[in-house]
Amino acid sequence: MPTHDILPVPGGAPIRLWTHGVPVEDDARTQLMNTARMPFIFRHLAVMPDVHLGKGSTIGSVIPTVGAIIPAAVGVDIGCGMMAARTSLTAADLPDSLHALRSAIEAAVPHGKTFGRRDTGAWDDAPQAVDAEWRQLAGRFAQITGKYPKLERTNNRLHLGTLGTGNHFIEVCLDEADRVWFMLHSGSRGVGNAIGNLFIELAQDDMRQHIANLPDRDLAYFNEGSRHFDDYVEAVGWAQDFARHNRELMMRAVVSAARRIIPKPFAADVEAVNCHHNYVQRETHFGHEVLVTRKGAVAAHRGQLGIIPGSMGAKSFIVRGLGNEEAFCSCSHGAGRTMSRTQAKKRFSVADQVRATEGVECRKDAGVIDEIPMAYKDIDAVMAAQADLVEIVHTLRQVVCVKG
């Protein structure tokens, strides 16, 4: 049985899809074919099983390019990704009631509308920690804003160490041996969004004489050597570093909060993974240096650890890459949506959310219905479709979930 399907694209590069057993919406196929027709695609597009329609570019796609880069393909949630840490705790060490643990995490990590507030009682070194991380980022940011002063007027340092909203989350999980893990999902926040939007607009402006010839205006691109190309690569790289520092700060806050609630001393770095899934970087594939844009996809080079989360109430996975070159050494970044947030809110009720998240200490109200598990693909089917991309190292199940 073939591991993936090949979709020929008239006038473009072929598309390889690891989607056996999972649905692919027609609009997503059309969007993928538009991208495949760009003249600088290297060999083929690789499509992960969590694929679904996205803004600018299809989520769950791996786009290799030579001599050009598409800012909207990287998107505005630059460097969004996952971090997970296994602790020395087991399920038996957790309190009988997990509500206090969820509340402590919610107080320690600014999330949702509370991004400007930090509870230093829950995390005693929070201001100093944020300052220390920002000092590692500030010099390069000053160079970027020297050319693009608009970016100074963003939530940059203020958002460092904050979760955000939407599908960003913090979880306490148990693995197959009932060992406790902390896991979180977030990215470069407001400043990454501003960088993404600024350079998308610049690409469209630079191509204003040719944009009508593109399959989609969001496919506007910078040619290597053009006036904004190097600046964009530098800004995206900085945003990816911001996202990584952001996750590390939040993980420290989560661990600190947990130590206030769990009396047993514990280590929190038995195993650790920190990976992006919205980003671009230079890599070598098939003997050529290419720019690889992973839009809702994770690097899965041979031996590399990654994280593939399910939806609220579903399983998540710590995986090890198999280095499949046909997929440009990539895998999915999650389960992938089957419907929009608006559709989910119309179709499901709070009662549905309560049933779907039974056994998980989490919000169960109208504000999170758009994240209900039924709005996502079956994570087991997604994992089966990419069995030649990654191997499962740990299977996690949530017991606490904090949403933005």
Cα distances (angstroms) measured from residue 301 to each of 9, 277, 335: 27, 14, 20
4, 111, 333, 394: the active-site residue:
333
Question: Given the structure tokens 């400007």, which residue do they identify?
Answer: 116
Say whether 333 is catalytic: yes
d(CA 47, CA 294): 10
Asked if residues 379 and 16 have their Cβ atoms less than 8 Å apart, the reply is: no
How do 45-52 and 15-17 pair as beta strands?
parallel
DSSP 116-144: T---TTTSTTHHHHHHHHHHHHHHHHHHH
Q: Which CB contacts under 8 angstroms, 24+ apart, belong to 210-219?
A: 215/34, 215/35, 215/37, 215/38, 216/31, 216/34, 218/55, 218/56, 218/57, 218/72, 219/34, 219/35, 219/38, 219/70, 219/72, 219/73
d(CA 155, CA 174): 34
3-state class of 274 per DSSP?
Answer: strand
Residues with a catalytic annotation lie at 333
